Amino acid sequence: MPEGDTIFRAARTLHRALAGQVVTRFDTAYAPLARVHDDTPITGRTVDGVESHGKHLVMRFSGDLALRTHMRMHGSWHIYRPGERWQRPRSAMRIVIETAPFVAVGFDIPDAEWVKASTLGGRDDAIARLGPDLLAPDFDADAARVRLRARGDQPIAEALLEQRVMAGIGNVFKSEILFEGGVHPRTPVSRLSDDQLATLIALAHRQLAMNVRDTPGPRGGTRRTTGRMAPGEGLWVYSRGGQPCRRCGTRIASEKQGFGARPTWWCPRCQPAPAGVEPPQANEAPGHVAGAPRRPR
């Protein structure tokens, strides 16, 4: 699933390509979106801008209209020149927004809706339900800490994925934040001090921010948390089950946790389990999670 940094970069690219341009063609595979286009055409409207809200991407149009999309596991937005061949099959197309200089194509996007731009986030909609956005200019770390503390005895690895706590963290950053913070993923939130929570929030903010820097060249889009530029050395623990810890050499452990049984990786020495926290069972052997990706995403 694309995480907050990926959506931020996608929104930035779409904004640069489309903002200020007039829509010359709109197409969609979704009847609810097409119905709005039939009643109040999207063609002829100007793209006012594109922005991210956690893992949601919002495209604003003139006439107080906005398109909110969520990529879920496999969705993505591509930018092409008019007439350029798409890199994905047409069967994967869900939304097309064409302007004179560029065409934006949304592939395999499962969650899309039209909303009034002026009310977006103002009521109990998908944006309003989000916690503080880690990549927003006005990110409120104190509000995030209050929301995180409210998770009580929930394991910290699961709490970090709650978008109502903080918006933008996914499975990669979850494991990387906990490693840098030296916190075992099964630790209940209630067992962590306010200073520890503040440290994890600061790490989350720093890690996401460093991965949306407008860096030129081929490495600009490669996710990194270690600060190392060599290929294959960008992440501390994510998807490195069974490999040596980059700090102490201990074999990286992994297990599935929480809703959806999402895998978590950690170093048993750098992130020791606190007293009373049960270690993984034998069938949760460190170093392997069935079906987990073997390369950083």
Pair type for strands 76-80 and 103-107? antiparallel
Task: Using alpha carbons, select from 66, 260, 245, 49 the residue that is nearest to residue 162.
Answer: 260
CB 255 within 8 A of CB 273: no
Average pLDDT over residues 289-296: 32
Query: What tokens does 208 get?
Result: 């996401």
Q: Mean pLDDT check: name the lowest of 18-22, 109-113, 149-153, 286-290.
A: 286-290
**pLDDT band with cut points at 50, 70 and 90 for residue 236:** very high
Mean pLDDT over the full length of the chain: 90
Name the one residue in this structure whose structure tokens are 């999670």: 289
pTM of the model: 0.88
| Residue 15, pLDDT above cutoff 50 | yes
- CA distances in angstroms from 210 to 9, 75, 226, 229, listed in the order given: 12, 23, 10, 13
63 Cβ contact partners less than 8 Å away, ≥ 6 residues apart: 40, 45
Q: Give the DSSP H/E element, type plus range, for residue 27.
A: strand 25-28
Topology (CATH) of 4-119? N-terminal domain of MutM-like DNA repair proteins (3.20.190)
Output the pLDDT for position 286.
41
Average pLDDT over residues 120-140: 91
Residue range(s) occupied by CATH 3.20.190.10 in the chain: 4-119
**pLDDT band with cut points at 50, 70 and 90 for residue 280:** low
The architecture (CATH level 2) of 141-284 comes to Orthogonal Bundle (1.10)
Active site residues: 2-3, 55, 262
Amino acid, single-letter form, for residue 92? A
**pLDDT band with cut points at 50, 70 and 90 for residue 289:** very low
| Residue 285, pLDDT above cutoff 90 | no
Task: Using alpha carbons, select from 159, 164, 174, 179 the residue that is nearest to residue 259.
Answer: 159
| Residue 219, pLDDT above cutoff 50 | no
- The 10s digit of each residue's pLDDT in 40-53 is 999 999 999 999 99
End-to-end CA distance of the chain: 9
